[in-house]
């Protein structure tokens, strides 16, 4: 989606604001003993409260309000009826559908202070995505973002998953362009002023591959290594991108 009308941009900003508000309230529910299903039910309640629809339930075959991925589940985690434990890494991927506009963003938290390894992984995951977001300006290409994400992950001894992508967003949930979490500078589709994109990646303490769980959705690391995921919705601009789902000041510990 490329924003061309002020009214369209206004709705987009309203949607992002509501979406961040809901995700922040889901964050407040995360603690030992709570389950992914508990969080997912709360997401459904909050969507009704704010008069929006959960974006992911509009995906064919998916019946949940959120994707909740824990530890070695990297992405697309089915919310499970399994209590969270101290030290778990919990990623909540969430979006809404509001006035024909979609949102999509993700954050990962440690339940309690993370151990040294998980603290390093969380920082690398954030840095990979947030450094890439800074590259979302006119004159750059999608490969510039992918290069940045992979570089940060590799420098910290980790990998990015290559089969899942960031993407355009707006009137459909997954729009062009696709933004891989790897790439070469100055390659791929050019970024245009007003383009709305989701910059995301999964940084894994494992190889760059996954196995699909028996639930048919949850993508798990091959060797059981932990994974974190962060995702921002941004508008590409000439000199500095505009972050729609601004969670830059959020902590990664609950």
Distances (CA, A) of 41 to 17, 54, 66, 159: 21, 11, 9, 32
Instruction: Taking residues 49-66, report their average pLDDT.
Output: 97
- pLDDT band for 70, please (50, 70, 90 cuts): very high
pLDDT score at 133: 98
- pLDDT band for 208, please (50, 70, 90 cuts): very high
pLDDT score at 104: 98
| 13-54 tens-digit pLDDT | 999 999 999 999 999 999 999 999 999 999 999 999 999 999
pLDDT score at 135: 98
Distances (CA, A) of 101 to 26, 54, 174, 249: 21, 11, 12, 25
In the chain, the N- to C-terminal Cα span, in Å, equals 34
Taking the CB of residue 242, how many other CB atoms lie within 10 A of it? 15
Cβ–Cβ < 8 Å for 236, 137: yes
Residue with tokens 């932990």: 226
| DSSP-based three-state secondary structure for 17 | helix
Residue with tokens 């459909």: 172
In the chain, what are the helix, strand and coil shares in percent, each to the nearest 5? 30, 30, 40
The CATH class for the domain spanning 6-243 reads alpha beta
Residue with tokens 């890439």: 132
| DSSP-based three-state secondary structure for 117 | helix
Taking the CB of residue 137, how many other CB atoms lie within 10 A of it? 17
pLDDT score at 159: 98
| 101-156 tens-digit pLDDT | 999 999 999 999 999 999 999 999 999 999 999 999 999 999 999 999 999 999 99
Give the chain's radius of gyration (CA, Å): 17
pLDDT score at 170: 97
User: Where do the structural domains in the chain lie, given as residue ranges?
Assistant: 6-243
pLDDT score at 40: 98
What angle separates helix 142-155 from helix 116-133, to the nearest 10 degrees? 160
- pLDDT band for 62, please (50, 70, 90 cuts): very high
pLDDT score at 108: 98
């Amino acid at each position: 989606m490329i924003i061309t009308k002020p009214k369209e941009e206004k709705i987009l900003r309203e949607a992002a604001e509501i979406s961040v508000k809901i995700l922040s309230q889901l964050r407040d529910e995360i603690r030992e003993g709570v389950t992914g299903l508990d969080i997912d039910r709360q997401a459904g309640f909050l969507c009704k409260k704010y008069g929006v629809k959960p974006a992911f339930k509009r995906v064919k075959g998916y019946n949940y309000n959120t994707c909740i991925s824990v530890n070695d589940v990297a992405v697309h985690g089915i919310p499970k009826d399994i209590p969270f434990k101290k030290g778990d890494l919990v990623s909540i991927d969430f979006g809404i559908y509001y006035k024909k506009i979609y949102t999509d963003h993700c954050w990962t938290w440690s339940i309690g202070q993370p151990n040294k390894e998980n603290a390093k992984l969380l920082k690398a995951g954030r840095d990979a995505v947030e450094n890439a977001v800074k590259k979302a300006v006119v004159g750059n290409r999608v490969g510039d973002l992918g290069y940045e994400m992979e570089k940060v992950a590799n420098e910290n001894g980790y990998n990015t998953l290559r089969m899942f992508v960031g993407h355009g967003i707006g009137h459909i949930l997954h729009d062009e362009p696709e933004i891989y979490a790897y790439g070469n500078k100055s390659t791929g589709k050019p970024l245009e002023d007003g383009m709305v994109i989701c910059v995301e990646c999964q940084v894994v303490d494992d190889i760059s591959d996954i196995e699909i769980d028996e639930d048919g959705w949850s993508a798990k690391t091959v060797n059981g290594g932990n994974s974190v995921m962060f995702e921002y919705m941004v508008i590409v601009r000439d000199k500095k991108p505009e972050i729609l789902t601004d969670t830059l000041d959020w902590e990664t510990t609950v």
